[in-house]
């Protein structure tokens, strides 16, 4: 039992909130009841189990707390998730999209083992052991168009990797969300310069940056870009 009042997020379906605007906490309904993935709090409210979604552990939660304009979480979403790691964020996305599907690409064998252990009961996650720099190598796993590509690989060439995957898999009006960590691209250059370079790569490849959201409050040297293929 808890006396925390959990309510619907005003914009994102299947995301829940508690507290005042200043101290907002995020939650998702636990699809795998009783299971924790990363030590998150489980809370029962009106007989439903929720998992607290920590913005210091998940950049997608940080993004939602920064109030993006774009609503990228549609019902029945088909998502390609690059850099799935052991399952922190992808598990919340799995709670949210329910009957949609998420293809989670991860190249670390250790992380994918943990991902499989952590999410084995979640039928909407397809874990794929592969390198996101070679999108053609996982084409055989796909049986749907992709509405959203979410990329969090902390790699040099981040924007290029995103574009290559979008060109391969993203449907025409699909959305790309990319978490950019300046330190992973170049630890000497100023962050702002690196962000500008990555944006230029996306724009040159025909993507329109819809939003550029600073999440430094939750993750040092990170911004998140939301982009869409520009209509020509
Ligand atoms: C910052 S962590 C991702 C955290 C995860 N998105 C979350 O919030 O739960 C970056 C992950 O990307 C993976 N990664 C890095 N480069 C990759 C690549 N080229 N292909 C696939 N995975 C990659 C790393 O092994 C690591 O697990």
Q: Ligand 1: which residue has its CA nearest to atom 27? A: 85
Write the pLDDT tens digit of every residue in 13-32: 999 999 998 899 999 999 99
Write the pLDDT tens digit of every residue in 81-108: 999 999 999 999 999 998 999 999 999 9
Residue of 83, 107, 119, 125 to mutate, ligand 1, most atoms within 8 A of C-beta: 83
CATH (domain of 27): 3.30.200.20
DSSP conformational letter for 198: H
**What is the atom index within ligand 1 of the atom nearest the CA of 58?**
8
Looking at the fold, whether 34 and 105 belong to one and the same domain comes out as no
| CA dist., res. 212 & res. 196, Å (int) | 10
Range in 65-79, 86-100, 157-171, 218-232 the model is least confident about: 218-232
Q: 213 in helix, strand or coil? A: strand
Q: Ligand 1: which residue has its CA nearest to atom 10? A: 153
Residue 132, domain member (yes or no): yes
Q: What is the CA radius of gyration of the chain?
A: 17
| CA dist., res. 35 & res. 23, Å (int) | 26
- When divided into structural domains, the chain yields a total of 2
Domain residue limits at 11: 7-53
Q: Where are the beta strands (DSSP E) in 117-221?
A: 125-129, 146-151, 170-181, 207-214
CA angle, corner 21, sides to 17 and 27, nearest 5?
15
Residue 8's H or E segment, with its range, is strand 7-8
Best CA proximity match to 224, nearest among 74, 66, 89: 66
Q: Within 6 Å (CB) of ligand 1, which residues are found?
A: 58-59, 83, 85, 88-89, 105-108, 111, 131-133, 152-155
pTM here is: 0.96
* Residue 217 clears pLDDT 90, i.e. is over it: yes
Give the Å distance between the CA of 34 and the centre of ligand 1: 26
Looking at the fold, whether 95 and 209 belong to one and the same domain comes out as yes
């Amino acid at each position: 039992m808890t006396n925390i009042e959990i309510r619907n997020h005003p914009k994102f379906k299947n995301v829940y909130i508690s507290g005042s605007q200043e101290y907002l906490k995020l939650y998702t309904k636990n699809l795998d009841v009783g299971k924790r993935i990363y030590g998150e709090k489980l809370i029962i409210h009106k007989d439903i189990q929720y998992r607290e979604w920590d913005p210091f552990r998940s950049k997608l939660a940080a993004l939602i707390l920064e109030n993006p304009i774009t609503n990228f979480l549609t019902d029945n979403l088909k998502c390609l998730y690059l850099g799935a790691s052991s399952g922190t964020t992808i598990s919340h996305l799995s709670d949210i999209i329910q009957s949609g599907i998420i293809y989670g690409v991860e190249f670390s064998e250790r992380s994918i083992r943990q991902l499989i252990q952590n999410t084995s009961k979640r039928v909407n996650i397809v874990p794929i052991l592969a390198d996101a720099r070679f999108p053609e190598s996982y084409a055989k796993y796909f049986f749907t168009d992709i509405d959203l590509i979410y990329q969090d690989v902390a790699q040099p060439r981040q924007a290029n990797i995103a574009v290559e995957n979008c060109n391969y898999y993203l449907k025409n009006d699909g959305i790309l969300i990319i978490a950019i960590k300046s330190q992973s691209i170049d630890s000497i250059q100023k962050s702002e310069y690196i962000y500008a370079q990555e944006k230029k790569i996306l724009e040159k490849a025909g993507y329109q940056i819809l939003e550029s959201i600073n999440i430094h409050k939750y993750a040092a040297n990170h911004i998140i870009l939301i982009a869409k293929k520009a209509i020509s």
